[in-house]
Structure 1
Amino acid sequence: MSAAARARALADVGRLEQAEAAVRTGLTETPADAELLGLLAGLQRLQGHYPGALVSAEAAVAAAPDMAVLHIEYAECLLLVSRLDDALAAAHEAARLRPDAPEPHRSVARCLMSRRDLAGAREAAGRAVGIAPNSVPDLMALAEAEHLAGNRDAARAAAARALAEDPGDADGRWMMALLDAERMRVRDAMRGLRGLAADQPDRYGAPALTWPIRGLLAGLRRGLLAGVPFTAFLAVIGQWWPPAELLGRGAAVVMVFVTVGLAVRVLIPAGRLPWICLGLLPARRRRAVVAGLITAVTFLPFLSWYAAGARWQALAGSFAALIVLLAAGVAEGTNGDLPD
């Protein structure tokens, strides 16, 4: 068995370090072997050794500049070190070398998504799907591009096609859960996440299953960050124009009802599972989420107090709570989206 074949066999069963050792052994005999250099880059990338992976990918491309697959690996490594322009150039070179293969076009799509060129990403992913209509990775690249572009129906259609080919595909199932979550189909989203967590607990564990709680807090942070200063602005204007104070009190009422309504709509359908999984989060994140929940609850009496009497103390309390809520979000280290 060749060094490359042995390394691939080891990588297929998750033994990445041993696979890398097999590649390095092969490179001692043929140090300019482009296939082995490309494999080394991929193995280093998968293990998180990004600078070393980039060096290996550069060497592989230099050894065999006409191999499209090496340019794809080079593009992946460049993306990981945020060299987006260089990554796109490498992906385009792969597509030039193999325009009839889907993988280079998928690589172009990934690079364009990183650059937020979503129209170009959709076009490139669509080209890959046109070449390989039943390819799950290409369909999922198209689904991701459509989702980032805000085309949820198109994203769902592409993910559904991928799942029709491979019902167990984790990326497709995650995309469906994400789309359900965004459309507030909380029960459906949690059902999908429970299945993913059962199959891949390391990737879709407690952080993903606590999405209803964390997502609710993320939504409140965004809403209150706009609503509380706006209410304060109306309160200031109300010193000279009394109707503005009434508008501010009305805004406080709206925030109270929206907060309660959103909590009911998200947390009740989610059931007990997110609360159970909250205790499984890392300690720092768990404390941040709990602090956010407590602070979110304190908003309600402050806003209600202001709505009832237009007291400046209530506004001051609301601003203090907002600062704590934002700080808890920073400490949590996420924006509450699915998954981590």
Structure 2
Amino acid sequence: MSAAARARALADVGRLDQAERAVRDGLAGTPSDPELLGLLAGLRRLQGDSGAALEFADAAVAVAPGQAFVHIERAECLLVLARPAEALESASEAVRLSPDRPEPHRSLARCLTLLRRHDAARDAAGRAVTLAPHSVEDLMTLAEVERHAGRGDAARAATVRALAENPDHTDGRWMMAVLDAQRLRIGEAMRGLRGLAADHPGRYGAPVLSWPVRGLLASLTVGLSAGLPVVALLAAGGHRWASALLLARGSAAVIVLVAVTMAIRVLIPAGRLPWISLRLLPAATRRAVVVRLVAAGAALALLLRYAVSPAWPVLASVLAVQLVMLAAGRVERR
């Protein structure tokens, strides 16, 4: 078995360190082998060393500029480094070199998606699927492109096709849960995530299973950040126009109503699992979530009070509580 074949076999079962050793052993004898250099770039990328990965990808391109796979690997490294415009150049070159292979089109679709060129990304992903209609990876790339473009039904259709090929495909099951969540089919989403957590506890643990609570808090923070300035502006106008003050009170009531309605639609179908999962989060993250929960409840209570009896000190208190939520959110994301 060649060094490249041995490395791929080890990487397929998650033994990345051993795969890298196999590649480096092979490079000791043939240091300019583009296949081994490309493999080493991929292994470094998968292990989080994106800078070194790009160096090896550049070396592979320098050795074999006429081979599409080295340009694909360079594009993937550049995507990880958040350099999608440069990645697009590499992916486009790969397509030029191997237009009849799905892999270059798949890489091109990912680059175009990050550049928000959704129609072109859809065409590239569709071309990959046309060339390999039973490829789960190509179907999932198409699903991801459609999801980013806001075409949930098309994303679901592509995911269904991928899961028909491989019902246990992890990314496909994750995509279905995400799509269910986006459509507020919370019960279905949680059942999907629960199954993923059972099969892959290291990857889909407490941080994922607690998303209904944490996602709701994130949405509420965004909503308050957008709504509170409007309420404050209308309240300031209330000194001259009584109708402005009435609108401020109405806006405050609407914010509370929307937040409570969303909480009911998300938290009740989600059940107890998200709350249980919160207890399993790291201590600092758990404390930050608790602070955000308390602050969110206080903000809504204060807004309701303002809607009933408007007063500047109450509105100022809401703004102060919002600052606490934002600070706790930054701690939670660390």
TM-score for the superposition, normalised by structure 1: 0.95
Mapped to 2, the partners of 1:177 and 1:183 lie a distance apart of 10
Q: Which residue identity lines up with residue 72 of structure 2 in the other structure?
A: I
- Any conservation in 2 of the 1:292–1:325 contact (CA below 8 Å)? yes
Is structure 2 residue 57 aligned with structure 1 residue 48?
Answer: no
1:135 paired residue number: 135
In structure 2, what is the equivalent of residue 29 of structure 1? 29
Aligned partner of 1:118 in structure 2 is 118
The letter for the 2-side match of 1:183 is R
Deviates more, 1:187-196 or 1:247-256: 247-256
Q: Which residue of 2 aligns with 1:207?
A: 207
Q: How does 1:42-191 map to 2 (within 5 A)?
A: 42-191=42-191
Task: Give the aligned partner of residue 337 of structure 1.
Answer: none
Identity level (%): 63
Q: Distance in 1 between matches of 2:21 and 2:246?
A: 72
Stretches of structure 1 that go unaligned for 5 or more consecutive residues are: 335-340
Which TM-score applies when normalising by structure 2? 0.97
Deviations 1:255-305 (A, max 9, x none): 222222211111111110000000111222211111110001101321122
State the secondary structure of the residue aligned to 1:265: helix
Shift of 1:2: 2.1
Equivalences for 1:190-201 in 2 at 5 Å? 190-201=190-201
Tell me how far 1:127 sits from its aligned partner. Answer: 0.8
Distance of 2:16 and 2:76 partners within structure 1 = 18
- Give me the CA root mean square deviation: 1.3
Higher relative contact order structure (alpha carbons within 8 Å, sequence separation ≥ 6): 1
Secondary structure of the 1:230 match is helix
Q: Residue 92 of structure 1: SS of its match in structure 2?
A: helix
DSSP-derived class of the 1:203 partner: coil
| Runs of 4 or more above 3 Å deviation | none
AA aligned to 2:274 is P
Q: In 2, are the aligned partners of 1:152 and 1:179 still within 8 Å (CA)?
A: yes
- Indicate yes or no: 2:319 matched with 1:311: no
Residues paired across the two proteins, number: 334
CA distance in 1, matches of 2:256, 2:42: 51
C-alpha contact (below 8 Å) 1:40/1:56 kept by paired residues: yes
Residue 305 of structure 1 contacts residue 311 of structure 1 at CA under 8 Å; is this kept in 2? no
Distance 1:229 1:241 in 2: 18
Residue 69 of structure 1, CA deviation: 1.2
